[in-house]
Chain A
Amino acid sequence: AQSVTQLGSHVSVSEGALVLLRCNYSSSVPPYLFWYVQYPNQGLQLLLKYTSAATLVKGINGFEAEFKKSETSFHLTKPSAHMSDAAEYFCAVSVKGRRALTFGSGTRLQVQP
């Protein structure tokens, strides 16, 4: 079985500051890893994914994430936060052949002016 742990249910940064959202996974087989963003009263939007190609993955809206197998991590970063980045972010894992996503508990990002 797979699992995801997101450290920090709430993260607050200043506009223009670095965004770092943490995700650690557990999987007995090579994982597929995803980051999604959810704005209030909306569905999930895919930010980026790792599926065993390049370990540094670039996504939409300036976000990127690095797959580190030795640390079982897939942290999400953005060099400079915008007010529009305020939302809830979910890390998710699946494995080949089993498409069901296992989600972390989410991190709510607040961006201060």
Chain B
Amino acid sequence: EAGVTQSPTHLIKTRGQQATLRCSPISGHTSVYWYQQALGLGLQFLLWYDEGEERNRGNFPPRFSGRQFPNYSSELNVNALELEDSALYLCASSLGLASPEVSQYFGPGTRLTVL
């Protein structure tokens, strides 16, 4: 069974540009989560989508946004990129909101570098 996939593997942008990161969840999972792993800041929760709806949001500015598509894949968009946005962005998936099973399974990540 395929795991969580993310694309691209690496992304290089310059300050002020926009970045789009993509995630495909494990088959049967309807919840998708985004986390940022930045040097010195650790792993921080960004966003949670379930059944196309944003369910929870971490302490990040509005220029971090995303969406979930009908096939449960998800996009993370980062507008007006700043140098400190350079990080590994991890996507995870799990069974949906109604399920008691809460384990999250992570993809390999997208390394975003902002120059």
Q: Do A and B come from one complex?
A: yes
Chain A interface residues toward B at CB < 8 A: 32, 34, 36, 42-46, 49, 51, 90, 92, 94, 98-106
SS class, residues of chain A in contact with chain B: strand
What are 8 inter-chain pairs, A to B, with CB distance below 8 A? Answer: A43-B90, A49-B102, A51-B102, A99-B31, A99-B97, A99-B102, A101-B45, A105-B42
A32 — nearest CB in chain B belongs to which residue?
B102
How many inter-chain contacts with C-beta < 8 Å in the A-B complex? Answer: 55
Quick check: B103 and A34 within 8 Å, CB to CB?
A: yes
Taken together as a complex, chains A and B put the C-alpha atoms of A34 and B86 apart, in Å, by 26
Interface status of B33 (Cβ within 8 A of chain A): yes
Quick check: B90 and A100 within 8 Å, CB to CB?
A: no
How big is chain B's contact interface, by range?
Answer: 20 to 34
Quick check: B106 and A100 within 8 Å, CB to CB?
A: no
**Residues 23-42 of B at the A interface (beta carbon under 8 Å):** 31, 33, 35, 42
Taken together as a complex, chains A and B put the C-alpha atoms of A90 and B105 apart, in Å, by 14
